[in-house]
Structure formats: structure tokens, C-alpha cells
Amino acid sequence: MENVGDVRVSDTEDSWSWNIDHSGIFVVNSTRRHIDKSILPSSNRCTTWMKYVPSKINILLWRLNLAVKGLEVPSLSCPVCNSKVENRDHLFFKCNTAASIWLLIRVWVNNGMVHFNSLSDWQVWFNNWKAPNHNKDKLYAIFAATIWLLWRYRNNVLFNDPIKIMFSG
């Protein structure tokens, strides 16, 4: 009785109210502002939704900005393997497809490159790798091209017909 003593029951119809926005209606923009101002650490990066940018790019940037602010969005499984939550390190290094590709690259370049679990692992190894600059430039180009191709493959699986992907050049 102590906890509900101040509750007043009304004969009006029940309704939902969104307290974050003064209109009482759910609006994505008000939610973004609330997250930016109240929950997430301050950052120079915003999570603005740009109407001039395609939705899939807005979604990618939104998720990346939230991750930078310390809030991973674990709502999507990796579209490539569908077994883990998609994040940068999983997609580009830990996913079975990515790991297999990196293994082939390690064998191909034959330079002592080790297995990486994250972008940070790669950066530490690459920065400490003692090699002539022209070799470093070549390996960095291979790294960048591999990341880009993994990203394109991920997007093809997510946004296009996977059967066509298997048989396209």
C-alpha cells in the first residue's frame, strides 16, 4: 500500500506517451538527441541522419558513430556467416570467410604476417613490421583492397541476391 498509495486511477482511455519529446509522440530525431545529450559520452561526432545520403550509408555511419561512443548495436548478425553479432573486428577478421581469406593472403605474401583478430592487432603488427617501405606500401595496398572487398561482399550478401553473387565475376 505504501508503494501505490499515491496512484490515482482515472476513467479515461489508456494511451502511450513518449516522454523524451515534448509532443508526446515517438520521433527518431528526439531519441538521437536524447542519446547524444544524456547517455553517451561527449564526442565531436554526431549521429545525424542525412536525408541526402542513402539509407544504407546513414545506417552504417549511425552504427559506427554509436560504436565510437561506446554503444555497440548488437541487433544484427553478421550477414556473411550469420553466427555472430556483426562488428568491425568480426566482419573483417574473425568471420570464417574473412579468416580464410587472410590465411590465403598470409600464404601468398609469405612475409611472417600473423593471424589478426582486430584492426588494432593489424595496426600494431604493421607498424612494428621491419621491412623496406616499398614492401610496406605493397602490403598495405593488399590490406586495403582486402578490407574493401570484404565490405563489398558483405553488402552484396545483405542487399543483393546471394545466388547471383556466387556466379558473378
Domain coordinates of the chain in residue numbers? 15-73, 88-167
Is the pLDDT reported for residue 101 higher than 90?
Answer: yes
Considering only CA atoms, give the Rg of the chain: 23
Per-residue pLDDT tens for 114-160? 888 988 888 888 888 888 888 888 888 888 888 888 988 888 887 88
Coil, strand or helix at 157 = helix
Per-residue pLDDT tens for 6-39? 777 778 887 777 777 778 777 777 777 777 776 5
Is the pLDDT reported for residue 43 higher than 60?
Answer: no
| Measured distance CA(145)–CA(138) in Å, rounded | 11
Is the pLDDT reported for residue 75 higher than 70?
Answer: no
What is the share, in percent, of the chain residues with pLDDT greater than 70? Answer: 77
Q: Please report the sign of the dihedral spanned by the C-alpha atoms of residue 131, residue 134, residue 111, residue 117.
A: positive
**What is the per-residue pLDDT for 163?**
57
**CB contact at 8 A, 108 and 100:** no
Is the pLDDT reported for residue 58 higher than 60?
Answer: yes
| Measured distance CA(111)–CA(105) in Å, rounded | 10
Is the pLDDT reported for residue 73 higher than 70?
Answer: no
pLDDT category at 103 given cuts 50, 70, 90 is very high
**What is the per-residue pLDDT for 135?**
87
Q: What's the chain's average pLDDT?
A: 77
